[in-house]
Every structure is written in C-alpha cells, then in structure tokens.
Amino acid sequence: MKKDIREKGMPSASKVLQEFNKGEKVIIKIDSAVVKGMPYKRFQGREGLVLGKQGKCFVIRIKDGNMEKTVLANPVHLKALR
C-alpha cells in the first residue's frame, strides 16, 4: 500500500471524477491516500467487470478462486483495462 515518491499526495481531479460504463473491464488499484470507498486489500490488482453504480462508488464483479464476488469501490481505486 506504499506509494512511489512521485505519486504521493492526493489524486488529481480527473482520477476522482472518472466514469465507467456498465460492462467495462477495470483493474482494482488501491490509492492509499483516499480511505473512502477503498476495497479490501485482498482485491488489489484484480480484474473485474463493472455492474453499475451505487452512490459515488461502482459495483464490480470479480472472481476470487471459484467464487464470484461483488466489490464496491470508489473510482479513485479503479483503472480502466484497455
């Protein structure tokens, strides 16, 4: 959960306001500067599918072993998979 020296501080406004469409693939990349909407650390680096939006957070379906789980995450902690 430690940041690189160049990434320290609060995230940029574009990262906070990013939007994802339903069905888009994302990667969970936790930003330790923002505690609100932070997913559990076990899901760091996992790839998931956006199911929708709940408040300011996104609902993401990931595969954890053989089980499918839903995770709520703030857009700061997500990165689009391209």
Tens of pLDDT, residue by residue over 16-46, are 999 999 999 999 999 999 999 999 999 999 9
pTM for this model (two decimals): 0.89
* CATH number of the domain enclosing 32: 2.30.30.70
Which of 24 and 12 is assigned the larger pLDDT?
24
Q: How many domains does the chain have?
A: 1
Q: Answer yes or no: is 8 within a domain.
A: no
The DSSP bridge partners found for residue 39 are none
Cα-atom radius of gyration of the chain, to the nearest Å? 12
Q: Is residue 5 included in any domain, yes or no?
A: no
CA distances from 52 to 22, 25, 27, 71 (A): 5, 12, 15, 11
The residue range of the domain holding 75 is 21-80
